[in-house]
Amino acid sequence: MATKKPIPLAVWLPLGLVATVISLIGSLVVYSLLNPPAPPTVNFVGIITVRGQTITPKQLGQGRQLYELHCAVCHGLKLEGQPNWQEGMAANLLLAPALDQNSPSRQYSDEQILQLISQGGIKPNTTMLGYKDKLTPTEMAALLGYIKTHWK
């Protein structure tokens, strides 16, 4: 009759370690599923409207998220535009202009800016493509609301 050999330490120790690591990763995954990261907040006191509709703080947070995802690559994380965009625009170099308090867009109506976001840039060879297939009208309004928080 064969007697069962006890499992040697050299086998169960690494197995135990692997099991510990797997359960740690598992609990981290469960934790992050139960606690999704909070949407970004926007430091702004006051009321922002787009087409006469008030944009809620939650929408401003969404607008910020959308801005950072789609627009910051060209217009800058702080909406500052590409370096020397004024001279660049004048020379038709297609540099992305500022969207902050120095933005030429401040003279446009909400309707005109939403149209621009939806259809793309206005220059003939513009690098800015329209977002009508990527963003819903509500998302575009949130995005414009976030941009307007920079227009003090």
Does 70 participate in binding ligand HEC (rule CB under 6 A)?
yes
Q: Which is nearer to ligand HEC, 32 or 106 (CB)?
A: 106
Residues in region 76-105 near ligand HEC by CB under 6 A: 94, 96-97, 99, 103-105
Q: Which is nearer to ligand HEC, 24 or 129 (CB)?
A: 129
Which burial class, exposed, middle or buried, applies to 82 when counting CB atoms under 10 A from its CB (0-12, 13-18, 19+)? Answer: middle
Residues in region 110-129 near ligand HEC by CB under 6 A: 113, 116-117, 121-123, 126-128
Q: Which is nearer to ligand HEC, 20 or 53 (CB)?
A: 53
Piece of 2-10, 23-31, 53-61, 69-77 that binds ligand HEC (CB under 6 A): 69-77
Q: Which of 48, 60, 62, 75 binds ligand HEC (CB under 6 A)?
A: 75
Residues in region 29-48 near ligand HEC by CB under 6 A: none
Binding-site residue total for ligand HEC (CB under 6 A)? 23
Coil/strand/helix, residue 32: helix
What one-character-per-residue DSSP string does the chain give? -PPPPPPPHHHHHHHHHHHHHHHHHHHHHHHHHHSPPPPPP----S--EETTEEPPHHHHHHHHHHHHHHTHHHH-TTS--STTHHHHHHTT--PPPP-STT-GGGGS-HHHHHHHHHHB-SSTT-S-B--TTTS-HHHHHHHHHHHHTT--
Q: Which spans of this chain sit near ligand HEC (rule: CB under 6 A)?
A: 70-71, 73-75, 94, 96-97, 99, 103-105, 113, 116-117, 121-123, 126-128, 131, 143
